[in-house]
Amino acid sequence: MKFYEIDNALQEAITAANKPIRVKIEFDVAGHFESVFEQDIIEANFHGLREVAGGTTARGEILIDNPQGIYSYFSLGSGTKVKVSFSIGEGLPYFQRFNFFIKT
């Protein structure tokens, strides 16, 4: 069963496994998504857990730098949606992998 289709160039890059993985992180701010500059992502860790009752859950933690002072996410509270997407290589499309929600 296929859940989604991927672009041929992206599939070739995944199969070759010789390109760095790029991450895109977006925060829901007042109904629209704001992206974090890729160079400001210091660290991103994600992991999946198998639940005893069945199914899986994903958890993640990101650390971003704010050298320009442009990110003001302090007002974002618990439950704010965070989209995480990945791409393999420059110029290839991103594919959304996770929807996380901030927990404070």
> How many degrees, rounded to 5, is the angle at CA 10 between CA 48 and CA 91?
110
Residue 5: its pLDDT value, please? Answer: 66
Kindly state the average pLDDT of the residues 16-33.
84
**Per-domain residue ranges of the chain:** 1-8+40-104
Q: Is the pTM of this model over 0.75?
A: no
90 pLDDT higher than 60: yes
Q: pLDDT category, 8, cuts 50, 70, 90?
A: confident
CA-based radius of gyration for the chain: 15
pLDDT at 1 over 60: no
Q: What is the DSSP letter of 38?
A: G
